[in-house]
């Protein structure tokens, strides 16, 4: 019997309107009523994940920023944090600026963006995300390098966005030359950069250790490349119907899409 259900957010728990369907809410309520824990494992910033955890009544610590942070939302206790070194952050910024590509980065509480790129963030990247001002504090920076150098910032994740896939693949090679980072992606038009050793899968193992739950007692749901690491740290990995083909091929089970309440369907079939 499973004791922990781990859920990605975008493309998994959330539908295309960035909402949790009533069907998914009902399934998660049933799971928790029988004593099974539910955890969120997302690439999003902690404050965004906390917003949804509160709606769903999830008490389990939140895995945020692709596993760079595990934190309680009820008392804000940090159980695990793995941030990017300043030297590596400066190298990432240098590569982005050299290639004139958009980026932003997170610490535990805020999203930081170059003020000159703020229009891109407002008009494109967050398009369709409702209630965003309630969830994330966005801080535009006039001088990114000076700010992170002088403020000893705990950078948990960089997000690089561009519609040119070939450009992103070229950039990925450039980023991979930085030895102490992990490069992943959660959508066709982005790259996500974390410190070395960071992944959702490793974070699940750390969380399970805290909760005294074994690998064979965990099931996880995801849809994209940054969810694949979960497969090696759980008993069963379930891919959504809207998943990338590589993710579907590596999954233990398939369920319906995020717009067809795939989480609820998977829970009803495999957990309850």
CB-based burial of residue 217 (10 Å sphere; 0-12 exposed, 13-18 middle, 19+ buried)?
Answer: middle
What mean pLDDT is predicted for residues 46-71?
Answer: 94
When pLDDT is averaged across residues 219-243 and rounded to a whole number, the result is 97
Q: 108: Cβ–Cβ under 8 A, 6 or more apart, which residues?
A: 45, 46, 47, 64, 69, 71, 78, 81, 154, 156
212 three-state secondary structure: coil
CA 184 vs CA 20, 65, 187: distances in Å: 25, 11, 10
> Is a pLDDT exceeding 80 seen at residue 207?
yes
Domains in the chain, number? 2
**Rounded-to-integer distance, Cα 255 and Cα 238, Å:** 7
> Of 195, 226, 248, at which residue does a domain stop?
195
pLDDT at site 259: 98
Q: What band does 157 get if pLDDT is binned at 50, 70 and 90?
A: very high
Q: What is the pLDDT of residue 127?
A: 54
**228/252 same-domain check:** yes
Which of 137, 171, 195 is the endpoint of a domain? 195
Confidence of residue 152 (pLDDT cuts 50, 70, 90): confident
pLDDT (tens digit, 9 = 90+) per residue, 20-52? 999 999 999 999 999 999 999 999 999 989 999
Let me know whether 161 and 209 are in one domain: no
Look at residue 147 and give its three-state secondary structure: helix
Task: Write down which residue in 166, 195, 224 finishes a domain.
Answer: 195
75 and 172 in one domain? no
pLDDT-based confidence at 89, cuts 50/70/90? very high
**133 has pLDDT over 70:** no
CA atoms within 13 A on the CB side of 93: 20
pLDDT number for residue 142:
94
Does residue 234 have a pLDDT over 50? yes
Q: Convert the pLDDT of each residue in 158-197 to its tens digit.
A: 999 988 889 999 999 999 999 999 999 888 889 999 999 9
Domain that holds residue 115: 86-195
pLDDT in tens, 166-176: 999 999 999 99
Residues contacting residue 135 through CB under 8 Å, at least 6 positions apart: 47, 48, 51
Q: Is 11 left (phi over 0), alpha (psi -120 to 50) or beta?
A: left
The yes-or-no verdict on residue 126 having pLDDT over 70 is no
């Amino acid at each position: 019997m499973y004791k922990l259900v781990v859920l990605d957010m975008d493309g998994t728990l959330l539908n295309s309107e960035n909402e949790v369907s009533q069907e998914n809410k009902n399934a998660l309520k049933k799971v928790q009523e029988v004593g099974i824990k539910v955890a969120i494992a997302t690439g999003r910033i902690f404050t965004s994940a906390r917003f949804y955890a509160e709606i769903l009544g999830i008490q389990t610590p939140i895995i945020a920023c692709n596993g760079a942070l595990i934190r309680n939302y009820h008392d804000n206790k940090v159980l695990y944090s793995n941030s990017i070194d300043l030297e590596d952050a400066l190298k990432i910024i240098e590569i982005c600026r050299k290639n004139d590509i958009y980026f932003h980065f997170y610490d535990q509480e805020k999203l930081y963006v170059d003020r000159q790129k703020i229009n891109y963030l407002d008009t494109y990247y967050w398009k369709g995300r409702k209630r965003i001002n309630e969830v994330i504090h966005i801080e535009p920076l006039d001088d990114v390098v000076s700010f992170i150098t002088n403020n000893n910032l705990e950078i948990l994740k960089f997000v690089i966005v561009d519609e040119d896939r070939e450009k992103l693949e070229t950039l990925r090679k450039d980023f991979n030359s930085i030895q102490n980072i992990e490069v992943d992606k959660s959508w066709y038009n982005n790259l996500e950069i974390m410190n070395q050793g960071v992944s959702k899968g490793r974070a699940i193992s750390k969380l399970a250790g805290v909760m005294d739950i074994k690998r064979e007692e965990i099931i996880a749901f995801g849809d994209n490349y940054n969810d694949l690491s979960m497969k090696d740290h759980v008993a069963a990995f379930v891919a959504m119907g809207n998943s990338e083909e590589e993710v579907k091929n590596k999954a233990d089970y398939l369920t319906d899409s995020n717009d067809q309440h795939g989480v609820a369907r998977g829970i009803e079939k495999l957990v309850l």
